Amino acid sequence: MKSGDIPSIKPMSYRRLSHYACKGLRIALAYLLAGTVTFLFLLPLLWMISSSLKPDYQVLEFPPRWFPTPVQWSNYPKALTYVPFGRYILNTLFISMMVIVGHILSCVIVAYGFARLRAPGKDLLFLVLLATMMLPYPVTMIPLYIGFKTVGWVNSFWPLIVPAFFGSPFYIFLLRQFFLTIPPDLEDAARIDGANLLQILWHVLLPNLKPAIATVVVFSFQASWNDFLPPLIYLHDQSKYVVSLGLSFFRSSYDIRWNYLMAASLVTILPVVIVFFLTQRLVLKSIALTGVKA
CA atoms within 13 A on the CB side of 6: 3
CA atoms within 13 A on the CB side of 193: 12
pLDDT at 290: 52
pLDDT at 286: 61
| d(C-alpha 247, C-alpha 31), whole Å | 38
Give, rounded to a whole angstrom, the gap between the first and last alpha carbons of the chain: 60
Phi-psi group of 135: left, alpha or beta (phi > 0 → left; psi -120 to 50 → alpha; rest → beta) = beta
Phi-psi group of 152: left, alpha or beta (phi > 0 → left; psi -120 to 50 → alpha; rest → beta) = left
pLDDT at 79: 80
pLDDT at 11: 52
**233 contact partners, CB below 8 Å, separation of at least 6:** 141, 145
Q: Which residues of 25-39 are buried (b: 16+ CB within 10 A; e: fewer)?
A: eeeeeeeeeeeeeee
Query: Could you say which of 1.10.3470.10, 1.10.150.130, 3.90.1150.10, 1.10.3720.10 is the CATH number of the domain covering 76-289?
Result: 1.10.3720.10
What are the CB-based long-range contacts (under 8 Å, 24+) for 264-271?
A: 264/79, 264/80, 264/85, 265/48, 265/52, 266/48, 266/49, 266/52, 267/76, 267/79, 267/80, 267/85, 268/85, 268/89, 268/243, 271/89, 271/93, 271/221, 271/225
pLDDT at 9: 46
Per-residue model confidence as pLDDT tens for the chain (294 residues):
555 555 544 455 666 667 677 777 888 888 899 989 988 888 888 888 888 888 877 877 778 778 888 888 888 888 888 778 888 889 999 999 999 999 999 999 899 888 888 888 888 998 998 888 888 888 889 999 999 999 989 999 999 999 999 988 999 998 888 888 888 888 888 888 887 878 888 888 888 888 888 888 888 998 999 888 999 999 988 888 998 888 887 776 656 777 888 888 888 888 888 888 887 777 666 665 554 444
